[in-house]
Structure 1
Amino acid sequence: MLPVVALITCLINAIVISGSPPIVLWHGMGDSCCNPLSLGSLIKFIKTQLPDSYILSLRIGSNIVEDTSNGFFMNANHQIDYACKLLNADTNLSQGYHAIGFSQGGQFLRAVAQRCPSPPMLNLISVGGQHQGVFGFPRCPGDNETICNYIRDLLHLGAYESFVQNHLVQAEYWHDPHKENTYRQASIFLADINQERTFNEAYKTNLLKIRNLILVKFLRDGMVTPSESEHFGFYEENNTTKIIPLRESSLYLKDLLGLKTMDEQSRIKFLESDTDHLQFTDQWFIDNIIPYLKD
């Protein structure tokens, strides 16, 4: 029989372990891991709802300035590799974690789920992530207008040129419905994780390991074009007036990522917020997101 002190210690440890799983955040374009006006504030808010939670907000770079810059100019594949190393090095995540990606952080964390299954991702929550890419760049986040104007010029001049693909993040998920063949051949990130270049069985196997895929679409989105990309929808080829929803897409019908399987198992959740991009109330977050973070 265990001594009383040892027994009490075991019970305390069990209570700590039984708390809510760790949470990993990945910010969007023009933001950083710890901006007090965005993710920094959100971390504090989550703590009010889940006070015992461990939260890691991914910083891609040695400081916040690098983190922000890398969201524009660091090859997305290199960012995924960097993030995977951070996750593997954090012993707090070894038993699994919930992931929340904001805007481009949504598809980046999906790539993490597909490429880096250890430590295990539990629920993947994509808040405004562009999973079928974008074909438009209507508004710039924060105080980054000069950078955004430069990016717009590069995208329209040669999004699929090798140099642009390797050095401009937004080009790596630029999806031109009038150049589908070029997109599939040249896109070094999105076309790869969406199985549009070659089929990678591990991508499907690994994504199927997560519990749920929660997709948040903003109904008044003025930044993502088309906003249906946030639910895996996209334009019909050569037609920017018609959207092909996820369940009618070849990605779904061929089950290239396991999305059809997950959907049939009720493991894909299609959520909406009747607001602009990444704009949501505390109550909306409590009602719609917090439940997926509790266990």
Structure 2
Amino acid sequence: MARTPGSLPDAWVHSRMPGPRPRTRPPHPIPGTQAFGGGPRSSGVDPGVRGSQSPGGTQAFGRDPGVRGRTQAFGGPKVPGEPRRSGEDPGVRGFQSPVGTQAFGGGPRRPGTPATTHTTQGTQASGGNPGVRVPASQLWMPPERRRGGGGAALAPLLAPPLLLLLLVAPGGSHRPVVIVHGLFDSPSDFQHLRDFINESHPGTPVTVLDLFDRGASLRPLWVQVEGFRRALAPIMANAGDGVHLLGYSQGGLISRALLATTPDHNVRSFISLAAPQMGQYGDTDYLRWLFPRHMKSNLYRLCYTPLGQGVSICNYWNDPHHRDLYLNSSDFLALINGEKMHPNASEWKRNLLRIQSLVLIGGPDDGVITPWQSSLFGFYDANETVREMHKQEVYAQDTFGLRTLEARGALGGCAVPGVGHTAWHSHRPVYERCIRPWLT
């Protein structure tokens, strides 16, 4: 749903970032923003993991033996919050709700403008393009709390005053937040997200695991899962009340595999931010940069080989026209999705279901995740027609616990237009409406 800047209010254009351009080196944070590295450190080494503690109660874990990298935690001064704008997600079949469901969009709302208006026929996106109305059934957004229920129905949002009360944790303490970055990223790219969290939840330990940065993010995903598991272990051990885990892009798949293969984890909420949870299949700038001699139609020739499975993106390459090759050759995505039989399937499902919330975030202007509905567990059929989550076999058969999570009211998320792939973790309205409510 491409838009031109002229179709949006002036105050909202700055928050809409285009998709990544062809690059000769790994992508940087979005234009016009500055990413900061680590700050001063003090002593204080965690056994087995070198690191330090930074002011404000944030824990900075260091190099894990045998694994390149370090983790960093940052605080941040409080600055005035940006206004927000509710958005719309046309053409996307979302979770059905008996009443209008509010869509949390990607853009600011000037003070004094009305919030989203609910009607039985649809939802009006206040502050957006004039005349845009989207049926409530096509929107899928995250309530802070919902009552249990089965099928595709989600309970209506709580009234705003109650929602605000629930956002305040008892005693002002909050569970640690751990972030797993994506392809070609490093912790410095997540300064905005760390600042957002520390502004809304002062004193919260926020750790971006500094492993497999930049080019090292192309290493096989199972290698990365093991490295991130070792780095996450001491953080979980020091968090008696559990942690929140956020995985961005490729990091969302790494995080899900980590949860499935860690029987004693204490992750409370798993937030999947613009992650290709059902795989990737598209001629994006990233693909052309990585595989200049291949297109999506023939990349299977490389990816579905032992050599190809040694490259991270091939671990989740899902060619809908070569389903048999995918199932026979994929040694990562087909396994964690339960599409490929293996002796640990039941245990992995049980481990994943230890989480209390799964939050899925994505949007039609992502520009990298293809199809973008993969972020919400939708994907192409053999005709390249997108079939949403409820029509996927992994959901119908509950191969790894997705249907179970929804049935117990533990599934939430956002479909947000107007946000490019590299902007998700620096986009204030996305944080306020799609991430913050789950960090309790």
TM-score bucket of the superposed structures, by smaller chain: 0.7 to 0.9
Corresponding residue SS for 2:421: coil
Instruction: Tell me the residue number matched to 1:164.
Output: 308
Contact 1:30/1:68 (CA < 8 Å) preserved in 2?
yes
Instruction: Tell me the residue number matched to 1:175.
Output: 318
**Following TM superposition, by how much is the alpha carbon of 1:149 offset from its aligned partner in structure 2, in angstroms?**
3.6
Contact 1:126/1:215 (CA < 8 Å) preserved in 2?
yes
Corresponding residue SS for 2:307: helix
Corresponding residue SS for 1:82: helix
Query: Quick one: distance in 2 between partners of 1:29 and 1:152?
Result: 19
- CA RMSD in angstroms, aligned pairs only: 2.4
Residues 1:151 and 1:85: Cα distance change in structure 2 (over 3 Å): farther
Residues 1:188 and 1:287: Cα distance change in structure 2 (over 3 Å): same
- Given the alignment, which residue of 125, 136, 139 partners 2:271? 125
Show structure 2 runs of 5+ residues with no match. 1-168
Percent identity, aligned pairs only?
27
Instruction: Tell me the residue number matched to 1:230.
Output: 375
Residues 1:57 and 1:137: Cα distance change in structure 2 (over 3 Å): farther
AA at the equivalent of 1:30: F
Instruction: Tell me the residue number matched to 1:11.
Output: none
- Verify: 1:19 aligned to 2:170, yes or no: no
Query: Quick one: distance in 1 between partners of 2:258 and 2:397?
Result: 22
Instruction: Tell me the residue number matched to 1:5.
Output: none
- Verify: 1:43 aligned to 2:172, yes or no: no
Contact 1:131/1:230 (CA < 8 Å) preserved in 2?
yes
**Following TM superposition, by how much is the alpha carbon of 1:16 offset from its aligned partner in structure 2, in angstroms?**
10
AA at the equivalent of 2:242: G
Corresponding residue SS for 1:216: strand
Instruction: Tell me the residue number matched to 1:86.
Output: 231
- Verify: 1:114 aligned to 2:257, yes or no: no
Residues 1:151 and 1:49: Cα distance change in structure 2 (over 3 Å): farther
Instruction: Tell me the residue number matched to 1:258.
Output: 401
Deviation track 1:26-68 (CA, whole Å, cap 9, x = no partner) reads: 1111111x22xx212321221111111111211225xxxxx21
Instruction: Tell me the residue number matched to 2:366.
Output: 221
Residues 1:94 and 1:235: Cα distance change in structure 2 (over 3 Å): same
**Following TM superposition, by how much is the alpha carbon of 1:186 offset from its aligned partner in structure 2, in angstroms?**
0.5
Query: Quick one: distance in 2 between partners of 1:177 and 1:26?
Result: 28
AA at the equivalent of 1:176: D
**Following TM superposition, by how much is the alpha carbon of 1:278 offset from its aligned partner in structure 2, in angstroms?**
4.4
Corresponding residue SS for 1:239: coil
Contact 2:177/2:244 (CA < 8 Å) preserved in 1?
yes
Which 10-residue stretch deviates more, 49-58 or 280-289?
A: 280-289
Query: Quick one: distance in 2 between partners of 1:263 and 1:159?
Result: 32
Deviation track 1:236-293 (CA, whole Å, cap 9, x = no partner) reads: 1x211x1121111111111111111111222111311112224343133112211101
**Following TM superposition, by how much is the alpha carbon of 1:18 offset from its aligned partner in structure 2, in angstroms?**
6.5
Contact 2:259/2:265 (CA < 8 Å) preserved in 1?
no
Query: Quick one: distance in 2 between partners of 1:189 and 1:285?
Result: 29
Show structure 1 runs of 5+ residues with no match. 1-14, 62-66
Contact 1:128/1:278 (CA < 8 Å) preserved in 2?
no
Corresponding residue SS for 1:122: strand
- Verify: 1:244 aligned to 2:387, yes or no: yes
Query: Quick one: distance in 1 between partners of 2:277 and 2:232?
Result: 22
**Following TM superposition, by how much is the alpha carbon of 1:161 offset from its aligned partner in structure 2, in angstroms?**
0.9
AA at the equivalent of 2:363: F
AA at the equivalent of 1:31: D
**Following TM superposition, by how much is the alpha carbon of 1:118 offset from its aligned partner in structure 2, in angstroms?**
2.9
Instruction: Tell me the residue number matched to 1:4.
Output: none
AA at the equivalent of 1:211: Q
Contact 2:270/2:355 (CA < 8 Å) preserved in 1?
yes
What are the within-5 Å matches in structure 2 for residues 149-160 of structure 1? Answer: 149=292, 155=299, 157-160=301-304
Corresponding residue SS for 2:358: strand
Residues 1:254 and 1:55: Cα distance change in structure 2 (over 3 Å): same
- Verify: 1:270 aligned to 2:416, yes or no: no
Which 10-residue stretch deviates more, 244-253 or 280-289?
A: 280-289
Instruction: Tell me the residue number matched to 2:334.
Output: 191
Corresponding residue SS for 1:125: strand
Query: Quick one: distance in 1 between partners of 2:204 and 2:321?
Result: 46
Contact 1:98/1:293 (CA < 8 Å) preserved in 2?
yes
Residues 1:164 and 1:127: Cα distance change in structure 2 (over 3 Å): same
Contact 1:88/1:118 (CA < 8 Å) preserved in 2?
no
Which has a greater percent of helix? Answer: 1
Query: Quick one: distance in 2 between partners of 1:185 and 1:239?
Result: 21
Contact 2:267/2:355 (CA < 8 Å) preserved in 1?
yes
AA at the equivalent of 2:279: G
Instruction: Tell me the residue number matched to 2:184.
Output: 30
**Following TM superposition, by how much is the alpha carbon of 1:146 offset from its aligned partner in structure 2, in angstroms?**
5.0
Query: Quick one: distance in 2 between partners of 1:163 and 1:17?
Result: 52
Contact 1:137/1:224 (CA < 8 Å) preserved in 2?
no
Residues 1:59 and 1:94: Cα distance change in structure 2 (over 3 Å): farther
